[in-house]
Structure 1
Amino acid sequence: MSPDPWSAILDGFERDIALAVSGKVVPPWTPPLDAGPLPASLADRARRVLDAQADAVAILNRAKHDAGTQLSAIDAVPSGPGSDRPLLLDVRG
């Protein structure tokens, strides 16, 4: 690894967080084998990255919940031969 492996690791985490919350595919992560202990000088940055990861998880969980709610609403709309009459869909909720 480079002389400052932890900066590169944190850069990668930040890049992956941005990809995830923008809906893009995040590549699989492989833990580095030779990074050594986190330098004290990067502890605050590592905490910020950890907080950003927690925020991203919350955002993605909300999006997953909302998508599930929408899919359930779609599934609730009757279809087939008995559904040839007009339906009212309450979009205001």
Structure 2
Amino acid sequence: MESLEAWSAILDGFEHDIALAVSGGPAARWVPPTDAGPLPAALADRVRRILDAQADAVAMLTRLKHDAGTQLSAIDAVPSGSASDRPLLLDVRG
């Protein structure tokens, strides 16, 4: 396979994986290509855009992970069980 075609297919895969990650889809295991050859200069701008999109996706997923952790901590702080003699109040407005 010609290097430009091989790299275009690899970059298509990266773009697909980024879109899948930001939409909440399952992450596929990445296997590095072994026969693509050097990156053609004609694809350098596309690679930069993909790197930027990947960095944006990582930042978004990191924020979501943090937010989920914060919510789980709030849930863990609420006493469980029905043996309490006093009413419980959960502040949902934050």
TM-score (norm 2): 0.90
| 1:20 partnered with 2:21 | yes
Q: Which amino acid letter does the alignment assign opposite residue 67 of structure 2?
A: D
For structure 1, the residue ranges without an aligned partner over 5 or more in a row are: none
1:30-56 CA distance string (max 9 Å, x none) = 111111111110000000000000000
**Residue 27 (structure 1) shift:** 1.1
| Aligned CA distance change for structure 1 residues 89 and 52 (closer, same or farther; 3 Å) | same
CA distance in 1 between partners of 2:28 and 2:59 (Å):
20
Aligned length: 92
Q: 2:74: which partner in 1?
A: 73
1:89 aligned counterpart, secondary structure: coil
CA distance in 1 between partners of 2:38 and 2:61 (Å):
30
For structure 2, the residue ranges without an aligned partner over 5 or more in a row are: none
1:38-86 CA distance string (max 9 Å, x none) = 1110000000000000000001001100000000000000113543532
Q: Which deviates further from its counterpart, 81-90 or 61-70?
A: 81-90
Q: 2:55: which partner in 1?
A: 54
| 1:64 partnered with 2:65 | yes
RMSD of the TM alignment (CA)?
A: 1.3
